[in-house]
A = this chain, B = another copy of it.
Amino acid sequence: MIDTSAYQSLKRLADDPVDLRQGISKDRLLRFASHTKLLSLHYALERVDQRVLLTLQQLARETDAVQQFHAMAEGAFINQVEGCTDRPVQVLHLLNRLMPKKGLDQARSHILEQRRNIIDYLTTCPFERVVQIGIGGSELGPKAIYRALTHHHDAKRRLNFLSNVDPDHTEAVLQAVDPRKTLFVVVSKSGSTLETQVNERRARECLAACGLDPRQHMVAITTPGSKLDQDTDFHARFTMLEAVGGRFSATSPVGEFCLRFGLGNEVVDHFLAGAATMDETALNTDIRHNPSLLSALLNVWNHHFLGINNRAVLPYAHHLDEFVLHLQQCAMESNGKSVHRMGYPISYPTAAVLWGAPGTNSQHSFFQQLHQGTVQTQCTFLGFECSQSKTADTQAHLALNQNLVAQMVALACGQPSENANRRFEGNRCSRLITARQLNAETVGALLSFFENEIAYEGFLLGVNSFDQEGVQLGKVLATALDPEQTALREKLGGLSQVLLDAESAFLGRTK
């Protein structure tokens, strides 16, 4: 990215970015918006003008961002860092939404076969509750989607999630369910996730303690050939593609099984269709018709050129609270890197910290700082024209949206005042994503929008968004702390003394 001529131009343009306090014309509000079938992206309150947008388009062109996206969709082996990765792999989560339309036959058949198997299995499933045991990508996406679609919850088929190795969490979840009526879904891409193994064991103990046969109450979701896939102690096993990353697996069997159980097939089919519809927009080379790419470029502009290193996602829809946590993982685990995919260290800013919470609640929490604090934050608002439930109070929904717009305008325009404490600096950037309603189709579209934005940001920054080497060291060290693993601990040499010290100082009293 930094070797492009667009980069040099953007650096110059960043010396004098648009000042939003000069007023936002109606023309600008109408022009700086990208409308697609399901979602619109409004960016009139970002600190960009026509010159910046043209140069961002040039940056996209010079970095071959759209070609890279096409290559990903068509099955290129892009999950690799030159000289660092043993075995490059494909990145095929889009194929779960049947992109591309042709080719990749083997993977496509696998997906369609698993989908049929899941639907068949659930048709005769006698259970009233599913507890999905999984952590990270095996929990956050499916949980966020289930929560977003609260309105569609099936009262006779409840869904819970069990993730943390913290036994207080495990006991609280297990105590709240009736094991006789519960199916446990053990989800681990590798088949060897510590937390998931511990929780699976406890669930089996719990079933056995009730005189039940654990095998009749357990299914597994993993990759073909994993340790978990070879374990016959399950009533059924379903598999996801190796080429689908955990954090991109919400539309794979990882999400499909539990969501088809808890929301029904019709809702999930609409959800997948919404994602597919939005995916199409990510193929466009014109940034005005490719909101994911445009949003990624705005992230780069704000972070790299304006120096704003954190980004708040602020849905004005209460049930998108968990969705923010899913995006946090997706964005930060994908692009929180400092190695170029060509294998050399990079020092320019990569992913921002992504955080956030729903409005209007967050207005009564951290918005004070967004308006008057000294740290700048990029804000992404999400808004919906109407509510989910037909019985909902339309006046209340209007008040919700009035608050959303008021916050964006307050951030952008600020307010002078004689009273220093009531002064609002303004000129703080935000963007808005809107849809007609928070429903299955638009949740799919939102998921697609953000997944593709994250992929695009990686393409622009030159990082491999699809590995996560940064989580490995902690795993190794945790294992080394295991008292039964002293051999490994000794191999670690100098570090082992630190660990021993840490143990005795922090944890000595627990033993």
CA distance A84 to B418 in the complex (A): 9
Q: Mark A99-123, 1 if CB is under 8 A from B, else 0.
A: 0000000000000000000000000
CB pair B332 A481 closer than 8 Å: no
Contacts of A195 in B (CB 8 A): 360, 364
Whether, in the assembled complex, A403 has its beta carbon less than 8 Å from a beta carbon of chain B, the answer is: yes
The stretch of A89-97, A220-228, A496-504 that contacts the partner chain: A496-504
A351/B369 contact (C-beta < 8 A), A136-B364, A396-B166, A507-B401 known: yes
Question: Across the two chains, which residue of chain B brings its CB closest to A492?
Answer: B415
Q: Which of A392-424 contact B (CB under 8 A)?
A: 392-410, 413, 415, 419-424
Is A472 within 8 A of B422, CB to CB?
A: yes
A395 CA to B387 CA, complexed, in Å: 46
Q: Are B198 and A325 in contact (CB under 8 A)?
A: no
> Given A166-B317, A310-B353, A473-B424, are A366 and B332 neighbors across the interface (CB < 8 Å)?
yes
Q: Which residue of B lies closest to A25 (CB)?
A: B501
State the Cβ distance, A298 to closest chain B Cβ, in Å. 17
Q: Would you call A366 and B405 a contact (CB within 8 A)? A: no
* Contact, CB under 8 Å: B474 / A410: yes
B420 in contact with A81 (CB, 8 Å) = yes
**The one of B317, B343, B415 that contacts A473, using a Cβ cutoff of 8 Å:** B415
A1 → chain B closest CB, angstroms: 13
Q: How many copies does the complex hold?
A: 2
Task: Tell me the bound Cα distance from A332 to B357 in angstroms.
Answer: 13
Assess the A392–B167 pair: CB atoms within 8 A.
yes
Contact B406 A371 (CB under 8 A): no
Q: Which of the residues B29, B361, B385 comes within 8 Å of A164, measured between beta carbons? A: B361
Nearest B-chain residue to A32, judged by Cβ: B505
| A477→B370 CA distance, assembly (Å) | 16
> Which of B346, B505, B509 is A30 in contact with, Cβ under 8 Å?
B505
A338 within 8 A of B: yes
Q: Which of B163, B377, B404, B464 meets A361, CB within 8 Å?
A: B163
Is A169 positioned at the interface, with any CB of B under 8 Å from its CB? yes
**Closest chain B CB from A78 CB (angstroms):** 14
Residues in chain A within 8 A of chain B (CB atoms):
23-26, 29-30, 33, 42, 44, 81, 83-85, 135-137, 139-140, 150-151, 163-172, 194-195, 198, 202, 246, 309-310, 316-319, 325, 328-329, 332-333, 335-339, 343-355, 357-358, 360-361, 363-375, 377, 383, 385-389, 391-410, 413, 415, 419-425, 432, 434, 438, 464, 467-478, 480-482, 494-495, 497-499, 501-507, 509-510
Mind listing 11 A-B residue pairs with CB under 8 Å? Answer: A26-B501, A168-B389, A171-B389, A198-B393, A328-B366, A338-B372, A351-B369, A355-B355, A386-B510, A422-B469, A424-B473
Q: What 9 pairs across the A-B complex have the smallest Cβ distances? A: A336-B369, A136-B364, A336-B373, A167-B392, A406-B477, A169-B318, A372-B470, A84-B421, A355-B355
14 new A-B contacts, CB < 8 A, other than A139-B361, A409-B477, are: A23-B498, A83-B420, A137-B364, A167-B397, A167-B400, A171-B391, A198-B399, A309-B309, A333-B369, A336-B374, A337-B372, A373-B470, A404-B506, A409-B495
